[in-house]
Amino acid sequence: MAAEAVDLILTADAVLTVDAAGTVVEAGAVAIRAGVIVAVGPAVDLLARFVAVEVLASPGCVIAPGWVNTHTHLAMNLFRGAADDVTLEVFLERMISAEMRTLSAETVSIGTRAGIAECLAGGTTTALDMYWFPRASRAVAAEAGFRLLNGPIFMGDQDPEGRDFAGMLAEGRAILADNRAETPDDDLWVMPHSAYLLDRGQLESIRALAADAGARVHTHASESHGEVAMAAQVNGDRPVAVLDQAGLLTARTVLAHAVHLTDGEIDRIAASGVAVAHCPVSNLKLGCGIARVPDLLAADAAVSLGTDGAASAGALDMFAAVRMAALLHKGTTNDPTMISAERAVRLGTVDGARAVGLADVGTIEAGMQADLQVVRVETLNAQPTRDPWSALVYAATATDVRHTVARGRIVLRDRVLQTIDENTALRELSEVAAR
Ligand SMILES: [Zn+2]
């Protein structure tokens, strides 16, 4: 029988498929053709069955799906370290003033490129990204081979290009039309910042814009006590209720944070199908609190993970988010069985993909998009590797990622970025930060 041709075969000590059964293939391999996974199985079988343009062998490593970061602001790498150890309210005040001074299509491109470089070098292949100049970010992501989900952002009357709200709606409509034309198969996104920086009328206009375009929605909700109070001041109710009344609490919306929830809000979130992007590192750093993730999971709500931007989280590090999600809720519940290592990997991969509506991302199975990370575990910090889930969650770090494959393309090879010049990205970032 003639061997079947594929583009790439990856082999490693184990493949964490993250399929429904949690299958781990020891001495495993993944065969990829045209950006799609063709087969997963024992390396001996796949190497006999397929002939590949390249076989990338990674002894001492495990292969896992690329991380799906369901809440970030990539270009905020420009502002890393600019507002540490302050409250969310002070953070936002400082950030918005710096952003209005600094941001342009050029600087957002530079910040986003550095952010995507950090993501790819740390095993993240998809991000839900809320920021200004979304056209600029999309162009950078397309060059880098990164799966970026974004769309027009609405943040009250804040616009670095000086539009009023009507102008922002018109620009939003134009961006959605262009995105639809350029990537007809991808879902569109509309990004109202929050129920405290937008009033009810604005939220309803944004919902109508999203409905007309068939777009998904991403927003912040109930991140801090201060935010809950501000929503009450601006809109007379708690953020989740305001969003619900505006028609934005649906299975096509992702809420970032959702830290301060009542029991009733948890029930409503679960019933509506809205997804919660849990950002534990950012929530801790800003002193916002600890999201009620065990209660959300018990209610069968959709939960995924995000980093938030580098200015609020310190880094776009999904290993940190996954590990923190696994650790934090053991601490709050005094229950070490809460969020196992495997469950944490699911939150960071397949659950994130489902939250953002990607049915063919987040697991390593035939027919899925080839978004993968190859992580070295034969290291001082991860040996011996008794359980690859445990190694990935409790021991490995972002710098242990050897290779990253996005849509079948090797975008990080032996820790060298292939689609972004790392030195140029860093130099440009420093130049903008020094302005
Ligand atoms: Zn955010």
Q: What is the CA(251)–ligand 1 centre distance, in A?
A: 20
Instruction: Specify the pLDDT at position 88.
Output: 85
Q: What is the CA(62)–ligand 1 centre distance, in A?
A: 31
Helix locations, 192-277, DSSP H:
200-213, 225-235, 239-245, 263-272
How many Cβ atoms sit within 10 Å of the Cβ of residue 270?
A: 18
Q: What is the CA(286)–ligand 1 centre distance, in A?
A: 11
153, two tokens: 């952002």
The answer to whether the beta carbons of residues 323 and 344 sit under 8 Å apart is: yes
E strand map for 130-245: 147-149, 153-154, 189-192, 216-221
Q: What is the CA(119)–ligand 1 centre distance, in A?
A: 16
Binning pLDDT at 50, 70 and 90, where does residue 223 land? very high
Q: How many angstroms separate the Cα of 144 from the Cα of each of 72, 415, 422? A: 17, 15, 12
Task: Read off the DSSP letter of residue 369.
Answer: B
Q: What is the CA(130)–ligand 1 centre distance, in A?
A: 7
Instruction: Specify the pLDDT at position 1.
Output: 63
Q: What is the CA(335)–ligand 1 centre distance, in A?
A: 29
Q: Which domains occur in the chain, in start order? A: 4-65+362-417 (2.30.40.10), 67-355 (3.20.20.140)
Model confidence pLDDT, tens digit, residues 101-153: 999 999 999 999 999 999 999 999 999 999 999 999 999 999 999 999 999 99
Mean pLDDT of 344-351: 98
Q: What is the CA(104)–ligand 1 centre distance, in A?
A: 19
Cβ-Cβ contacts under 8 Å for 258 (sequence gap 6 or more): 221, 222, 240, 269, 276, 278, 291, 296
Q: What is the CA(1)–ligand 1 centre distance, in A?
A: 54
| DSSP-derived 3-state class of residue 413 | strand
Beta bridge partners of 255: 219, 276
The answer to whether the beta carbons of residues 13 and 62 sit under 8 Å apart is: yes
Please state, in angstroms and rounded to a whole number, the distance separating the CA atoms of residues 42 and 32: 15
User: How far does the chain reach from its first CA to its final CA, in angstroms?
Assistant: 63
Instruction: Specify the pLDDT at position 435.
Output: 86
Query: Is residue 262's pLDDT more than 70?
Result: yes
Please state, in angstroms and rounded to a whole number, the distance separating the CA atoms of residues 177 and 152: 11
Q: What is the CA(281)–ligand 1 centre distance, in A?
A: 12
Please state, in angstroms and rounded to a whole number, the distance separating the CA atoms of residues 243 and 342: 32
Q: What is the CA(247)–ligand 1 centre distance, in A?
A: 21
Q: At residue 198, what is the residue type?
A: L
DSSP 309-335: -HHHHSS--HHHHHHHHHHHHHHHHT-
Model confidence pLDDT, tens digit, residues 140-195: 999 999 999 999 999 998 899 999 999 999 999 999 999 999 999 999 999 999 99
Strands 416-417 and 409-413: antiparallel
Mean of the per-residue pLDDT values for the chain? 97
Sheet order of strands, 372-376 included: 36-42, 24-33, 4-16, 50-65, 372-376, 401-406, 409-413, 416-417
Q: What is the CA(412)–ligand 1 centre distance, in A?
A: 27
Task: Read off the DSSP letter of residue 2.
Answer: P
Ligand 1 ion local residues (Cβ < 5 A) = 308
Instruction: Specify the pLDDT at position 89.
Output: 87
H or E element that contains 347: helix 341-348
52, two tokens: 């590949």
95, two tokens: 């950030």
Q: What is the CA(171)–ligand 1 centre distance, in A?
A: 22
Please state, in angstroms and rounded to a whole number, the distance separating the CA atoms of residues 119 and 70: 12
CA angle 221, 224, 229 (to 5 degrees): 85
**CB neighbour burial string for 64-79, b if at least 16 within 10 angstroms, e if fewer:** bbbbbbbbbbbbbbbb
Mean pLDDT of 411-432: 98
Instruction: Specify the pLDDT at position 2.
Output: 75
Please state, in angstroms and rounded to a whole number, the distance separating the CA atoms of residues 221 and 31: 41
Mean pLDDT of 211-218: 98
Q: What is the CA(307)–ligand 1 centre distance, in A?
A: 9
Please state, in angstroms and rounded to a whole number, the distance separating the CA atoms of residues 143 and 102: 23
Q: Which of left, alpha, beta for 343 (phi over 0: left; psi -120 to 50: alpha)?
A: alpha
Query: Is residue 316's pLDDT more than 90?
Result: yes
Q: What is the CA(300)–ligand 1 centre distance, in A?
A: 24
**CB neighbour burial string for 359-397, b if at least 16 within 10 angstroms, e if fewer:** eebbbbbeebbbbbbbbbbbbeebeebeebbbbbbbbbe
Instruction: Specify the pLDDT at position 301.
Output: 98
Q: What is the CA(243)–ligand 1 centre distance, in A?
A: 16
How many Cβ atoms sit within 10 Å of the Cβ of residue 115?
A: 34
Q: What is the CA(232)–ligand 1 centre distance, in A?
A: 20
Question: Alpha-carbon Rg of the chain, whole angstroms?
Answer: 21
Instruction: Report the residue count for the chain.
Output: 435
Q: What is the CA(220)–ligand 1 centre distance, in A?
A: 6
Q: What is the CA(150)–ligand 1 centre distance, in A?
A: 13
Q: What is the CA(71)–ligand 1 centre distance, in A?
A: 6
H or E element that contains 141: helix 134-144
| DSSP-derived 3-state class of residue 421 | coil
Q: What is the CA(49)–ligand 1 centre distance, in A?
A: 46
Task: Read off the DSSP letter of residue 66.
Answer: P
Model confidence pLDDT, tens digit, residues 41-91: 999 999 999 999 999 999 999 999 999 999 999 999 999 999 999 988 899
Q: What is the CA(309)–ligand 1 centre distance, in A?
A: 6
Q: What is the CA(32)–ligand 1 centre distance, in A?
A: 34
